[in-house]
Amino acid sequence: MSASDCWIDIAAEGGRFQAYLATPPTGSGPGILLIQEIFGVNAHIQAVAAQYAMDGYTVLAPDVFWRQRPGVQLGYDGQDFARGIELMQGLDFPCALADLTAALAALRERPECKGPAAVMGYCMGGRLSFHVAAQTDVDAAVCYYGGGIPSVLDLAPQIRAPILFHFAEQDRFIPLEGVEAVRQAFGPRDNAMVEVYAGVDHGFNCWARGSYDQTAAALARGRTLAFLATNMPSS
């Protein structure tokens, strides 16, 4: 963690929770609300926050599981994986969305956040990002292999902000039929993009997982940066 990264407290219904804040070298920039996988705001999510901070964004990664197990940081195998699944299954979804809405407001109120703010998430966080885009006035959304999105496409008409989806061709959790349903739900909209990465599996962006694919991760990151720069220009 660099000197520009820290944990901050956020007020919510029923208590306070922590979020990891990463700020750009210039001290301020557009915002990104970064939503974790089932493994918590672990070393990988903190590193992703630092990556986007180096690209000029003020990034806030809230602890989604704080009501169940505050500060959880898990690995990707064995008991840690099972614990992550358990925490996801026990998540109070409406409460989590309220907490994320509070985190978005806290991000926008930070002096380091200048201009628009996007939401971006991975796996569970990808689906949560979809919901945040549907229920808030966020300026843009990026969803990496968001499990469950094909089952909530009735929310698609509520999403007005530009949105970018990244899917893995060989994702065992999200079949290509579901990806096509997402594509069809957004139809001809010119501010919705669906990208599919050939030959890779779920979690391809995470270098700590066996499914990591450097080429797909780099391509998706480049597309994400171009998307954010186009749809969220700095003020």
**Tens digit of pLDDT for each residue in 21-79?**
999 999 999 999 999 999 999 999 999 999 999 999 999 999 999 999 999 999 999 99
User: What is the spatial distance between Cα 107 and Cα 157, in angstroms, rounded to a whole number?
Assistant: 26
When divided into structural domains, the chain yields a total of: 1
* CATH code, 59: 3.40.50.1820
CA angle 92–98–102, rounded 5-degree value = 140
- The token duo for 123 is 């796996």
- The token duo for 75 is 């690995």
**Residue 219 clears pLDDT 90, i.e. is over it:** yes
**Could you tell me if 127 and 107 are in contact, meaning their C-beta atoms sit under 8 angstroms apart?**
no
pLDDT of residue 235: 62
pLDDT band at 2 (very low <50, low <70, confident <90, very high): very low
Residue with tokens 């009735």: 154
**Residue 138 clears pLDDT 80, i.e. is over it:** yes
**Tens digit of pLDDT for each residue in 78-137?**
999 999 999 999 999 999 999 999 999 999 999 999 999 999 999 999 999 999 999 999
- Is 131 catalytic? The answer is no
**Residue 1 clears pLDDT 50, i.e. is over it:** no
Please tell me which residue in 63, 99, 139, 171 is annotated as part of the active site: 171
The average confidence (pLDDT) of the chain is: 96
- Residue among 61, 2, 59, 57 at smallest CA distance from 26: 57
Residue with tokens 């292999």: 145
Q: Which residues contact 189 (CB under 8 A, 6 or more apart)?
A: none
- The token duo for 155 is 């929310």
Provide the residue type at 59 as one letter: V
Q: Which pTM does this prediction carry?
A: 0.96
Say how far residue 61 (Cα) sits from the centre of its chain.
8
Residue 178 structural domain: 5-231
- Is 171 catalytic? The answer is yes
pLDDT band at 3 (very low <50, low <70, confident <90, very high): very low
What long-range pairs does 78-85 form, CB within 8 A, spacing at least 24? 80/39, 84/37, 84/38, 84/39, 84/40, 85/38
Please tell me which residue in 44, 131, 166, 202 is annotated as part of the active site: 202
- The token duo for 186 is 């957004």
